[in-house]
Structure 1
C-alpha cells in the first residue's frame, strides 16, 4: 500500500456549513442538467423543504451561486440559471489577477509579453479566416476610435474593442475571453504620454493597416505589424 498523499487521512474533519452543502446540491443540479441555462430556480420555500434547511442557508447558497456567475438574482422575480461561458470563468479570477499585478510589478511585464504571444496567434488565425463582414466591423471600430481622439479613457476602450474583435475572428470563445480579460487588466496601468505627439494618430494608422493586411489574408505581414504595434505601445502601460 502506498503512503503517498495520505497525510490528509488523519487531519481533523471539518464540519461543513449548511449553506455550503446547499450550494453543493444546487451545483450538482446544474451539472446533471436538472437545472439548465434559462431555467428559473426553485423557490426558496421549495429548496428549504427539499434540503430540510432554513431560509438563511438557502439564501446564502443562492448568493454564492450568483457571486460565481451561475445564476442571476432579480428582485421580485425568480432567479435564473445562466449559460456558462468562458467570460464567466474569467470573471471569477478577475480580482485575483488584479491583486497579482499590483503585488508584483514584474507581472505587468509578463502580461505584456503574454499579450504579444496571444495576439500574434489571434491575428494569424484571423488573417486566414476573416470575412467581408469582419473587415467591415473592424473598419467601423477604427472610425469609432478615431472619434475618441483626445479622450484617453474612451480612446483606450475603443482600442480594446478593436483588439477583442480580432480575437473574436478566431471563432474561439476562450481566446476572445482571455483577450478581453487581459486587456481589461492592462487598462488599469494605461499611462498616456502627453508629450508623445502623434501617438494616437499612429495607433489609428496601424489599426487601419492591420485591417488591410487581414483583408489581403497577409498572415506574415499582419503578424509582424501586430508585434511592432504592441511593442510600440508597451511604454504606455506602467506600474501604478
Structure 2
C-alpha cells in the first residue's frame, strides 16, 4: 500500500508575487514605472492586503521595486550594489557555519583580485595612480586607528577595481572585502602588521604604475595569501 505524499501548499503571498512578476514582464515595465495600487491588486487577485504587502516586500528585498510612503510602488533602477547587498545575509550564514565556504570565498577573492590587478595595470591612468597613492598616504596616517585603517584598506582594493571600468567588478570588490571584514575580521586586518600591509599595498601600486599585469598579479597574490596563512596559523594555535 503506497501513501501519497502531501501536496505542498504555496503561500498566498508567493502566488501574488509570481503573478506580479508575470505582470511586470508581460507589460514590459521599466525602471520608474508604477505598479497598480494595493486596492487594485486586492480586487484583481481577490486577496487581502497582508498577502499583497508581503509580496511587495519580497520584491523590494529582491531589488525589483521601490516602495515609498504615500506613493505607488515603482520598478527599481537596476543596481549591482543592491544585488550583492542582498546576498549579505546568505553569506553571513555560510561564513559563520561553513569553513568550506570560507575557504572557497578566500580562493575566489584572491583569484578575483589578481585578475582585477592585471586589468588595472593595463588600463591605469596618471589620475588612477594619484588616487591610489593618496589612499595609501591616508592609510599610513591612520595606521593606529583600527576602523579607519580597515576602511582605507577596503577603499584601496575598491579603487583598483574601479580602474577596470566594469561596475560588476567594482561592486564585487566591495562585497568580497566587506563580507570578510564583517564576518571574519582577522582575515583582512592583523593588529601589529599595519606596516607590512602598507608595504605590500605600495608594491601593488608600483606594479600597476609600471603597467606590468603579471607583476601586479604576483604581488597581489602574495599579499592576500600572507593574510590567509596568518589566519590559519592563529586558528591552529588556538585549537592546540
Instruction: Give the alignment partner of residue 151 of structure 1, picking from 145, 160, 165.
Output: 145
Cα pair 1:120 1:223 within 8 Å, conserved: yes
Aligned to 2:221: 227
Using a 3 Å threshold, how does the CA distance of structure 1 residues 59 and 30 change in structure 2: closer, same or farther? same
Greater helix share, structure number: 2
Distance 1:137 1:38, change over 3 A: farther
Instruction: Give unpaired runs (5+ residues) of structure 1.
Output: 1-9
Q: What is the match of residue 177 of structure 2?
A: 183
- Find the partner of 1:70 among 60, 64, 86: 64
Report the Cα offset of residue 11 of structure 1: 6.0
Using structure 1 for the length normalisation, give the TM-score.
Answer: 0.81
1:104-130 C-alpha deviation (Å, 9 max, x unpaired): 234333322222111111101111112
Measured in 1, the distance between the counterparts of 2:141 and 2:37 equals 48
Q: What is the RMSD of the two structures over their aligned residues, measured on CA atoms?
A: 2.6
TM-score by length of 2: 0.81
- In structure 2, how many angstroms separate the alpha carbons of the residues matched to 1:115 and 1:88? 19
Displaced runs of 4+ in structure 1, greater than 6 A?
237-240
Distance 1:217 1:140 in 2: 19
8 Å contact kept, 1:190–1:236:
no
**Aligned with residue 84 of structure 2, among 78, 87, 90:** 90
Give the deviation of 1:12 after TM superposition. Answer: 4.8
Q: Which of 190, 197, 203 is the equivalent residue of 2:197?
A: 203
The separation in 2 between residues aligned to 1:159 and 1:70, in whole angstroms, is: 32
2:206 corresponds in structure 1 to: 212
Measured after TM superposition, the shift of residue 182 of structure 1 is 1.7
Answer yes or no: is 1:128 the counterpart of 2:122.
Answer: yes
Match of 2:31 among 13, 27, 37: 37
Q: How does 1:42-53 map to 2 (within 5 A)?
A: 42-53=36-47
Q: Secondary structure at the match of 2:185?
A: coil
Pairing 1:119–2:113 present:
yes
C-alpha displacement at 1:17, in angstroms? 2.7
Decide whether aligned partners of structure 1 residues 123 and 232 sit closer, same or farther in structure 2, where only a CA change above 3 A counts.
same
